[in-house]
Amino acid sequence: MKIKLNKNIRMKHSLLLILLLSLASISSAKLKSDTLKNKKRPKIGLVLSGGGAKGFAHVGVLKVIDELEIPIDYIAGTSMGSIIGGFYSIGYSADQIEEMILSQNWDKLLADEISRKYVPFHEKQNYERHVLSFPIKPKGIQLPSGIVSGQNVINLFERLSIDYHDVNNFKNLPIPFVCVATDIETGEAVILDKGYLPEAMRASMAIPTVFSPIEIDGRLLVDGGMVNNFPVKEVVDMGADIVIGVDVQSGPKSKEELNSFLDIINQTVSLMALNEFKKNIDFVDVYIKPDINNYSVGSFNEADSLIRKGEEIGRKYIPELKELKEKYQLKKKKIKKYKPPVDSTTYYVKNIEFEGLNEVSKSLLAGKLNLDTPGEVSLHQLKKGINRSFGSRYFDNVDFKLVGNKTKSLQVRVKERTTKRFNVGLRYDSDNKAGVLLNTTFRNKLRSGSHLSFDLKLAENPRFVTTYAIDNGLKPGITIQAEYNDWQVDGFEDGKKIGNYDLDYYKLDVNTHSILRESYSVGIGAKAEYYNLQSNYSLPDVELEGTDDYFFSYYAFLRIDSHEKAYYPKKGVSLYGEYKLVTNNGARLDGMERPASIAYLKFQKAISISPTFTVYPKAYARVVWGKSIPDFFKTYTGGIDQTDYFDIQMPFVGLERMEMNSNNSFIFRTDFQYELFRNNYLIFKANFGRLSDDINRSFESGEWIRGVALTYSYNSLIGPMEFSLMYSNKKDKVLNYVSLGYWF
């Protein structure tokens, strides 16, 4: 009986204990539920690594994040991650960033290439003829701090973030943002969370030796990937509770995989930041790594494929991201979608402030900007003004900042280009053989806006030219040029080479000219020329043996050049027209009552039929009239291209250089250019012409000539590389012609 009672007591105690535990569990669950309701949701941080062009994969992941409406509270990025993250932080959607990336010409953007229409007229001929250019400083010739200055990159950032130029603290952006750079002097990581957003992004992606460093607050900054390519700690310090990290680094490569300049640079950066990466990865909650090992840091022309790869890996993480969203009841906060400006967007600019001017005058820079302030300024006008300023060659960088609310103050900051430069050109062609061009250029000598240059061509046919020019736009400017040429010219008879002669040529040329919109120039001038010819034979119908003479010419000219690039343009027109009077005593030619007259025309137009097919109609004409025309001023036809050494040569494919001579020459030519693949061209050239000695009976007594050529060309980093086969009705064989490098 006693045992039974004890059992009943124990059962009652057990039931009571179970009841108490149940009540405690219910109470605890209710308390946790109430606590969860009262607790704020966890903050989500996004980390985007560096990786050059591979960083485009970030955009694909962001597209998935946007689609799932995952809220992002903080962003940290390095290098390309800082660029994608920076734009995302000010309200760009992933789709908008994708559109921006795919609309860029990355070759031009990264090479600081601008259209030649923004280059001053006197610079157009020199713009694409040097392979190397070095500043001359007090300690001598120095290498540049980077292959490119990043002018186009920062201008793009400035235009696309123009409504946030006033935000100095990146915590005040729609999504708080930081990026990482490296102090190249100390090797320390620099956290950029304040300042000027475009400048911070540009500093974070300044790959050493490729992009020039950026100075911010007295520190010289380069790519942050050198010390911290995956800034997780930085986003945690901002307040992130949960971290989503997207890593596009390739990791260290084997020696067999290091095959290019960019591979070596990327490997160097990866190794330096490897230890920091290992520490950071432990704090990542969702680690996303796209499969992009087959791409390189330089795969900028494969942006669409990289974005697609990012989206593919992002979709594999949809279940994990959805679970995160549901677990913490995440709701995306409303961020005003950024509306990027377009060319027609206008701003009321009350004044312009200049920073960085020392040797260049404010008036010169203001004239290049050509903005009417105070007043409305469109983004298109501003972009053209910045391009004209940079194209002037007086600056290594020209960037801008618009500050203010309804009325804006435009701050234009420049880094003056070293006024003394040493330039090198390299060239080989079948006519002139190998040559090296050594050029020294000095700017702002005697007065602002001037340039003084010395050209020395080292070759079988040496040449020396010195030029001093002052350009004043529409106001008349002046050019003074002295030149010496030592030239070997071949002589032909019935299409066969019969010898050559040595021509020494001296020239002093002075002209005054006006320039309109960088593409049109008109002027008048005078020049004195001396010819000395030595030969052991006489050319057919031309007595040139051991002759020399002085000549004085007076001329007027019109020049147009609106091609967007010097080689393989796809739009624009070039024209040079000149009329001159030739004398040998200042007023007339001996034995004549008046000077000889020479009219000259060269014309070309680029017509783009499609992105890969361009047609170039061309016309050349040179007419000489008067009695006793000096043989030095006759017209010599032949040669695949036209040099600027003498104005007596007319190009004609199918003939050797200067093969036929006459008083008058009319040539019509069309080039059909097809771009087989990037920078590789196949060009068919066809021309015909009429040569004569009597201008009044040119089409009765003259001679018709015809010729064709087929050219394969590769536009390399050191200039065009071309191989041509050509034929004409004046030759009984197919000629070949090889050309390597820029013309000079």
Quote the tokens at residue 410.
Answer: 């435009």
How many other C-beta atoms can be found within 10 angstroms of the C-beta atom of residue 108?
14
C-alpha to C-alpha distance for 126 and 164, rounded to whole angstroms: 38
Model pLDDT, residue 40: 76
Last residue of a domain, one of 281, 302, 328: 328
Helix 80-89 and helix 94-102: axis angle, to 10°?
Answer: 130
Least confident of 115-129, 413-427, 527-541: 527-541
Residue 331, pLDDT > 90, answer no
Residue 598, Cβ density class (10 Å: 0-12 exposed, 13-18 middle, ≥19 buried) = buried
Q: What is the separation of C-alpha 318 from the centre of its chain, rounded to a whole number of angstroms? A: 39
Last residue of a domain, one of 416, 448, 473: 416
Q: Residue 293: which domain range?
A: 44-112+164-328
- Which carries the bigger pLDDT value, residue 180 or residue 407? 180
Residue 3: what pLDDT?
37
Question: 24 Cβ partners below 8 Å, 6+ apart?
Answer: none
Q: Which of 223, 471, 509, 671 is catalytic?
A: 223
259: confidence class by pLDDT, cuts 50, 70, 90: low
For range 479-508, the mean pLDDT: 86
Is 400 in the same domain as 485?
Answer: no
For position 651, which CATH number holds?
A: 2.40.160.50
Reading across the β-sheet that carries 395-403, which strands appear in turn?
375-378, 346-355, 407-416, 395-403
Question: Across residues 215-234, what is the average pLDDT?
Answer: 92
Predicted confidence band of residue 399 (pLDDT cuts 50, 70, 90): very high
Task: Specify the pLDDT at position 718.
Answer: 87
My answer on whether omega of the bond before 374 falls inside 30° of 0, hence cis, is yes
Residue 546: pLDDT above 80?
A: no
Q: Would 92 be classed as within a structural domain?
A: yes
Residues 318 and 351 in one domain: no
Confidence bin at 209 (pLDDT 50/70/90): confident
Give yes or no for residue 402 having a pLDDT over 90: yes
Question: Euclidean distance between the first and final Cα of the chain, in Å?
Answer: 123
**Residue 218 above 70 pLDDT?**
yes
Which residue type sits at 609?
I
Phi-psi region of 165 (alpha: psi -120 to 50; beta: other; left: phi over 0): alpha
Residue 666 has what pLDDT?
95
Tens of pLDDT, residue by residue over 294-321, are 898 889 999 999 999 999 999 999 999 9
Please report, as a single letter, which amino acid is at residue 635: T
> Which of these ranges, 119-123, 129-133, 371-375, 650-654, has the smallest mean pLDDT?
119-123
Q: Which helix (H) or strand (E) holds 202?
A: helix 197-204
| Confidence at residue 211, expressed as pLDDT on a 0 to 100 scale | 87
Query: For 316, which DSSP code?
Result: H
Q: Is 223 a catalytic residue?
A: yes
In 315-360, the DSSP E strands lie at: 346-355
Q: What average pLDDT does the segment 703-720 reach? A: 94
Residues 313 and 408 in one domain: no
More confident site: 739 or 21: 739
How large is the average pLDDT for residues 402-418?
91
What is the SS3 assignment for 143?
Answer: coil
377 or 678, higher pLDDT: 377
The verdict on residue 10 lying in a domain is no
State whether 294 and 412 are in the same domain.
Answer: no
Taking each helix axis from N to C end, the angle separating 151-160 and 197-204, rounded to the nearest 10 degrees, works out to: 140
Mean pLDDT score, 341-361: 92
- Looking at 1-5, 157-161, 181-185, 434-438, which range is the least confident one? 1-5
Which candidate, 244, 211, 206, 212, places its Cα nearest to that of 224?
Answer: 206
On the question of pLDDT at 276 being above 80, the answer is: no
> Is residue 23 over pLDDT 60?
no
- Higher-confidence residue of 322 and 472: namely 322
Lowest-pLDDT choice from 201-215, 269-283, 419-433, 705-719: 269-283
Q: Is 98 helix (H, G, I), strand (E, B) or coil?
A: helix
Q: What is the pLDDT of residue 69?
A: 93
pLDDT in the model for residue 142: 65
Q: Are 685 and 669 in contact (CB under 8 A)?
A: yes
What does pTM read for this prediction? Answer: 0.80
pLDDT at 82 over 80: yes
User: Structurally, how many domains does the chain consist of?
Assistant: 3
For residues 396 and 474, state if they share a domain: no
How far is residue 530's CA from residue 548's CA, in Å, rounded to a whole number?
A: 7
Q: Is the pLDDT of residue 723 over 60?
A: yes
CATH code of the domain in which 405 resides = 3.10.20.310
**Across all residues in the chain, what is the average pLDDT?**
86
- Report pLDDT for 493: 78
pLDDT at 447 over 90: no
Q: What is the mean pLDDT of residues 158-183?
A: 96
Residue 533 lies in a domain: yes
Which pLDDT belongs to residue 698?
Answer: 62
Q: CA-to-CA distance for 144 and 128, rounded, in angstroms?
A: 18
pLDDT value at residue 451: 87
Is 182 in the same domain as 246? Answer: yes
| Torsion of the alpha carbons at 214, 219, 224 and 230, rounded to the nearest 10 | -140
**Token duo for residue 208:** 């050493």
Classify each residue of 317-344 as buried b or exposed e, where b means 16 or more C-beta atoms within 10 Å of its C-beta.
beeebeebbeebebeeeebeebebbeee
Query: Beta strand pairing status for 420-429 and 407-416?
Result: unpaired
Q: Write out the E strands in 473-540.
A: 475-493, 496-516, 520-534
CA atoms within 13 A on the CB side of 490: 17
Contact in structure between 229 and 250 (CB atoms under 8 Å): no
What would the mean pLDDT of 138-157 be, rounded to a whole number?
81
What tens digit of pLDDT does each residue of 35-67 get?
Answer: 334 457 899 999 999 988 999 999 999 999 999
Name the residue with higher pLDDT: 61 or 146. Answer: 61
pLDDT surpasses 70 at 145:
no
Among 416, 436, 458, identify where a domain stops: 416
Q: Are 206 and 222 in contact (CB under 8 A)?
A: yes
Question: E-assigned strands of 161-203?
Answer: 177-183, 189-192
What pLDDT, on a 0 to 100 scale, did the predictor assign at position 697?
A: 67
**Which CATH number does the domain housing residue 193 bear?**
3.40.1090.10
CB neighbour list of residue 450: distance below 8 Å, 6 or more residues apart:
443, 444, 468, 469, 470
**CA neighbor of 695 nearest in space, from 601, 594, 627, 624:** 624
Confidence of residue 193 (pLDDT cuts 50, 70, 90): very high
Residue 340 within a domain: no
For the cut 90, the answer to whether the pLDDT of residue 699 exceeds it is no
Residues 6+ away with beta carbon under 8 Å from 183: 189, 190, 219, 220, 221
CB atoms closer than 10 angstroms to residue 22? 10
- Using pLDDT thresholds of 50, 70 and 90, give the confidence band for residue 116: confident
Do 287 and 244 lie in one domain? The reply is yes
Based on the fold, state whether residues 309 and 372 are members of the same structural domain. Answer: no
Is position 37 within any domain?
A: no
Q: Predicted confidence band at 687 (pLDDT cuts at 50, 70, 90)?
A: very high
Lowest mean pLDDT among 13-27, 202-216, 237-251: 13-27
Residues 651-680, mean pLDDT to the nearest whole number: 93
Q: Which of 107-116, 335-344, 371-380, 491-500 has the highest mean pLDDT?
A: 371-380
Tell me the pLDDT tens digit for each residue of 610-656.
999 999 999 999 999 877 777 778 899 998 876 666 788 899 999 99
- Both 466 and 516 in one domain: the answer is yes
| Per-residue model confidence as pLDDT tens digits over 570-586 | 999 999 999 999 988 87
Q: Which of 293, 209, 195 is nearest to 251 (CA)?
A: 293
Percent of the chain scoring above 90 in pLDDT: 56
* 139: in domain: no
Q: 470-474: which pairs have CB atoms within 8 A and are 24 or more residues apart?
A: 471/120, 471/121, 471/122, 471/513, 471/515, 472/514, 472/515, 473/367, 473/514, 473/515, 473/516, 474/514, 474/515, 474/516
Task: Kindly state whether residues 367 and 498 are assigned to the same domain.
Answer: no
Same domain assignment for residues 397 and 540: no
Taking residues 440-461, report their average pLDDT.
Answer: 88
Contact call for residues 75 and 85 (beta carbons, < 8 A): yes
- Does the residue 271 lie in any domain? yes
Same domain, 737 and 624: yes
* Calpha distance 72→173 (Å, rounded): 13
Residues counted in the chain? 744
Residue 437 lies in a domain: yes
> How many angstroms separate the CA atoms of 668 and 665, rounded?
10
